Chain A
């Protein structure tokens, strides 16, 4: 990943009309292309599900041949896992499936996405993973696909500020709008999760892209709303307290799910199994469990619906399913299937919601509004902390179910769940995954950006320097010709030893530099971030801080306090400008 802060593309050109035209046309184009790609992705997965006997509708039609379905159930995910493992380990530089965390990292830190090849391989691997029924989600890969397509804008020379980040947000919004048939959720997701600000400069094009995705999905392909639910309103006021309770409990399940997912990733690293074979192991586990619980296979659209029907599940079935789905999803993702966590979270959540209702209705006999609203509340309450986007989640309920009463109810569960999960785990699985890679977004964009900017190439090369053996007199002579009051002391190999300060040594001209230099002075390494530098400079007195190569100990340059502060201000101002940009 290379820095792109210094690229000429950040230089603006042309007036507001030019910028608006470029952004809108870009949004339209990205919207159409991403939307078509998203539909193609969904269709490809559906076709694979049918052909490989993963979808129930295909399975039931070959029911007469007794051995076909059980064989397919175990063999398809296992062999599919092998294909995914080989694809990722042989063809991708990243050696893993890519998803929303990579997009968030790239946009927040203004880096480029991982290479196009890794992106394409990851998308193909995700299609295979989903096609063979692995317990992973389809929205993460689609978000990445949208970002991947949109990031092509990098190769243009349009000279509009923040263009790549806005383009990526457009791609993500269009993917979500198409996938869920939910343009408002697409718009909000791109801002809440990817951009993390609401500037009008980004808002307008992202809306256009989201809307375009919706038009393509609805008008051209007539795709129906994904999850229509009949619900005529909450019957009793006290049920809102129950929704809050459900939300709080769902937060616990969500945290357990996220921790287990991270844990499985670590476990996979510790096994002796080569990475190419890990997904096959997870696939085999999915297949074996699916012999008894076919609901765990794939995205589970049928199971989602059953969870809203009273009596479709016994309560013990729900307990088993919630546990199995959590375990298998964590296993599939940890062991290297390419795919997201969103769809599995929806499924775990809706089953948990149904379980909550079954217990509530069966054991307490409290009058209530029926299973559907509790199932939906559970679904959204569990999903929201996983993706770290309460507002998006609330809007997804609205657009998925097209039901206002359900949305009002789910809202309560969502916020309570989010609050608790944020406190005990973190903002989202994505953010925690990023955090483990050293990108900490928990304290906001500013800190993450400052932590991503390193001193490295910023170090000055033009500074006074002396060998350890030189006399103070020689050094003073050198300093007098410069504007500096300090010289960096190194040995013959250029390894940094200390700082010689004019005011300390002015009265001992005959001494060797090594004997009178200051050691223990603040030093930076090439990889020291601006954030760390700011903290280290507290109480610093002096001209400049030496920058040392951590491996060899050699002095590579110096930075002044002013330079650090300027860089800090540049980054912060740049972020504020981005957040407040009108067009």
Chain B
């Protein structure tokens, strides 16, 4: 059955390509910046080359709100989201359910489900890469002792300087509890209580005067490079791109990194469903996933792709070590609980806004 399906899909691709449907196109929505640049080279361009379908790219900064407001107007066909956003969006009907067995290309050996990371398949989405939310520091801000634990992020005495943080309750509340000595396994249990939120916001209060908020994930490496902040939260791929390609003097602290899944999904209003599904099928093949990881260190969600990850396409840096899920010693790793994230989004956002408003008093 499986080789048959593979041949079928390839036949569809070939047929589409040969038919010379140069006019065919899809609109793919991603996050801009270094991430989008990597996707262009690793996935979008090869897709167009193979199928003849042109990829229009739109950018957004995550969340479910843009999907509600812009998807229909801009004709979005495929969207790159965090898994928890996709779960929320799926719940409110903004994404259409995916028949993943028909869309995805099975591995040469073993089952499709077994080849993907656990929990990669959701009703409306499939996980495509693994990213980490980490913090990085500016080498110039700390020429002496460097920060190496999340406790240091909250320690303005030992490590003075501004902190850039995403204007969102994501990750920072977890970091606040980790800095209070809560073990990784208990973070989400504690954050589920009123008291946990109080403790987390209390910790955040300690650095509120030093916070610079960012919304576009391209900002934190730029802020660090310009010396406007001493430490910044952000995505590991962006920090890597800045230090590896642009030689920005910054270093990632892997302690307390939060690992999450980035998924592909199709907005429910897409008028281009067939091509959108073909795109997802193509983009989640092991070759594409491995190639993306050679452009930006976001790890493949398929086991069959991980062993194909080699050197950075331009600087020849071995990329395995820079992937979030590579084994590291003595560092805490937090796994983003997408289901919990999706169901508590409204509550956390509300509390976060309340706390921000209190800050402005």
Interface residues of A (CB under 8 A from B): 55-57, 59-64, 224, 228-230, 294-295, 301-302, 305-306, 308-309, 311-313, 372
For A63, give the chain B residue with the smallest CB separation.
Answer: B347
Tell me the B172-206 residues at the A interface (CB within 8 Å).
180-183, 185-186, 188-190, 192-196, 198-199, 202
**Do A56 and B192 have beta carbons less than 8 Å apart?**
yes
**Do A57 and B340 have beta carbons less than 8 Å apart?**
yes
Chain A residues whose C-beta falls within 8 Å of the C-beta of B186 in the assembled complex: 301-302, 305
- How far, in Å, is A435 (CB) from chain B's closest CB? 39
For B182, give the chain A residue with the smallest CB separation.
Answer: A305
Measured in the bound complex, the distance between the Cα atoms of B339 and A540 in whole Å is 80
**Do A230 and B202 have beta carbons less than 8 Å apart?**
no
For A59, give the chain B residue with the smallest CB separation.
Answer: B192
- How far, in Å, is B199 (CB) from chain A's closest CB? 5
Interface size class of B (residues with CB under 8 A): 20 to 34
Chain A residues whose C-beta falls within 8 Å of the C-beta of B347 in the assembled complex: 60, 63-64
Chain A residues whose C-beta falls within 8 Å of the C-beta of B188 in the assembled complex: 57
For A311, give the chain B residue with the smallest CB separation.
Answer: B202
Task: Provide the main secondary structure of the chain B interface.
Answer: helix
**Do B192 and A57 have beta carbons less than 8 Å apart?**
yes
Chain B residues whose C-beta falls within 8 Å of the C-beta of A60 in the assembled complex: 192-193, 340, 343-344, 347
Among A63, A301, A312, A313, which residue has its beta carbon within 8 angstroms of that of B189?
Answer: A301
- How far, in Å, is B338 (CB) from chain A's closest CB? 12
**Do A309 and B344 have beta carbons less than 8 Å apart?**
no
**B19 contacts the other chain (CB 8 A):** no
Beyond known contacts A60-B347, A301-B189, A306-B190: 11 more, CB 8 A cutoff: A55-B192, A56-B192, A56-B193, A57-B192, A60-B192, A61-B192, A64-B347, A224-B185, A302-B196, A311-B199, A312-B199
Quick one: CB contact mask for B195-239 with A, threshold 8 Å, 1 for yes? Answer: 110110010000000000000000000000000000000000000
**Do A294 and B193 have beta carbons less than 8 Å apart?**
yes
**Do B190 and A305 have beta carbons less than 8 Å apart?**
yes
**B4 contacts the other chain (CB 8 A):** no
Chain A residues whose C-beta falls within 8 Å of the C-beta of B339 in the assembled complex: 61
**Do B192 and A228 have beta carbons less than 8 Å apart?**
no
Chain A residues whose C-beta falls within 8 Å of the C-beta of B183 in the assembled complex: 224, 228
Interchain residue pairs with CB less than 8 A apart (13):
A57-B189, A60-B192, A60-B193, A60-B343, A61-B192, A64-B347, A294-B194, A302-B195, A306-B190, A309-B180, A309-B181, A311-B199, A312-B195
For B337, give the chain A residue with the smallest CB separation.
Answer: A57
**B145 contacts the other chain (CB 8 A):** no
Measured in the bound complex, the distance between the Cα atoms of B192 and A217 in whole Å is 27
**Do A63 and B198 have beta carbons less than 8 Å apart?**
no
Measured in the bound complex, the distance between the Cα atoms of B183 and A229 in whole Å is 8
For A61, give the chain B residue with the smallest CB separation.
Answer: B343
Measured in the bound complex, the distance between the Cα atoms of B346 and A60 in whole Å is 11
Among A57, A64, A230, which residue has its beta carbon within 8 angstroms of that of B346?
Answer: A64
For A306, give the chain B residue with the smallest CB separation.
Answer: B195
**Do B189 and A306 have beta carbons less than 8 Å apart?**
no
- How far, in Å, is A130 (CB) from chain B's closest CB? 16
Chain A residues whose C-beta falls within 8 Å of the C-beta of B194 in the assembled complex: 294
Chain B residues whose C-beta falls within 8 Å of the C-beta of A57 in the assembled complex: 188-189, 192, 340
Chain A residues whose C-beta falls within 8 Å of the C-beta of B343 in the assembled complex: 60-62
- How far, in Å, is A208 (CB) from chain B's closest CB? 29
- How far, in Å, is B18 (CB) from chain A's closest CB? 50
Chain A residues whose C-beta falls within 8 Å of the C-beta of B195 in the assembled complex: 295, 302, 306, 312-313
Chain A residues whose C-beta falls within 8 Å of the C-beta of B193 in the assembled complex: 56, 60, 294, 302, 306
**Do A312 and B182 have beta carbons less than 8 Å apart?**
no
Measured in the bound complex, the distance between the Cα atoms of B319 and A415 in whole Å is 56
Among B181, B189, B346, which residue has its beta carbon within 8 angstroms of that of A56?
Answer: B189
- How far, in Å, is B350 (CB) from chain A's closest CB? 10
Tell me the B67-110 residues at the A interface (CB within 8 Å).
none
**Do B199 and A309 have beta carbons less than 8 Å apart?**
yes
Measured in the bound complex, the distance between the Cα atoms of B180 and A61 in whole Å is 24
Measured in the bound complex, the distance between the Cα atoms of B196 and A55 in whole Å is 14
